[in-house]
Amino acid sequence: MDLSKLPKLSETPKPQPDPEPPQPNQPPIDYRADLAYVDAGAGGMVWISLILGALCLMLGRRFPSYVLAKLSGREFHTQVNWVSGPQAGQEVGYWNLSGSTALTETSIFFFGLALVLEALALWFISSKIGGKKIVLVISLIVVVVATVLNLFTAVRVMGDGTVPLMSGLAAALGGYMAMYQWKLLRVLNTGRSAPMT
């Protein structure tokens, strides 16, 4: 019997050659170039964020007026008087206005501020100006605070039996903005490409 015609039971694989080490003269790959495709839509996103931010700041403009009046020691006038009860005829305080008005205006003002900061951050990222990461971190913090505040306001207003249209939309858009900015921050931190969809 010829044993050479029988199949071999085991065959040791040939060792694979080690991959070539990177050449020291080659420039490192800059994955931040992947941020270039942010430029394609950055102009439109900046424009929309600025317009919506300005509208939200206008809707919530009584909140900064209230804060400035309190910081300067002046009285803030709501120009609304109590109709009945022990305080009838006296002016209603800002935080006592019906329908959680002060809370809603505060939430919308902060969301407008978050939108304006997002526009600034997107402009920084798509430009050649330095300081991209710090502007993006500040924007992300304000977006998270505004989103949580609007979510709280939406739940509070729903508890009063009212539909929280503005705060609900702000919470939804704020969540999207926070996720998008978090992805951008990861790209800036790690230098690795991350899908921006």
Note the pLDDT of residue 196: 44
Question: Looking at residues 14-37, what average pLDDT do you find?
Answer: 60
Output 6 or 43, whichever has higher pLDDT.
Answer: 43
Question: Looking at residues 40-64, what average pLDDT do you find?
Answer: 89
Q: Is 145 a domain residue?
A: yes
Q: Is 84 a domain residue?
A: no
Q: Is 110 a domain residue?
A: yes
Q: Is 90 a domain residue?
A: no
Q: Is 163 a domain residue?
A: yes
Output 190 or 90, whichever has higher pLDDT.
Answer: 90
Note the pLDDT of residue 13: 64
Q: Is 81 a domain residue?
A: no
pLDDT tier at 194, thresholds 50, 70, 90: very low
Write the DSSP string, the chain: --GGGSPPS--PPPPPPPPPPPPTTSPPP-GGGGGGGGHHHHHHHHHHHHHHHHHHHHHTTHHHHHHHHHHTT-------B--SSTTTTSBPPGGGSGGGHHHHHHHHHHHHHHHHHHHHHHHHHHSS-S-HHHHHHHHHHHHHHHHHHHHHHHHHHHHTT---HHHHHHHHHHHHHHHHHHHHHHHHHH-------
Output 166 or 195, whichever has higher pLDDT.
Answer: 166
pLDDT tier at 91, thresholds 50, 70, 90: confident
Supply the range of the domain harboring residue 41: 32-72+99-188
Q: What percent of the chain has pLDDT over 90?
A: 44
User: Does residue 24 register a pLDDT over 80?
Assistant: no
User: Does residue 56 register a pLDDT over 90?
Assistant: yes
Q: Is 27 a domain residue?
A: no
Q: Is 93 a domain residue?
A: no
Number of domains in the chain: 1
Average pLDDT score, the chain: 82
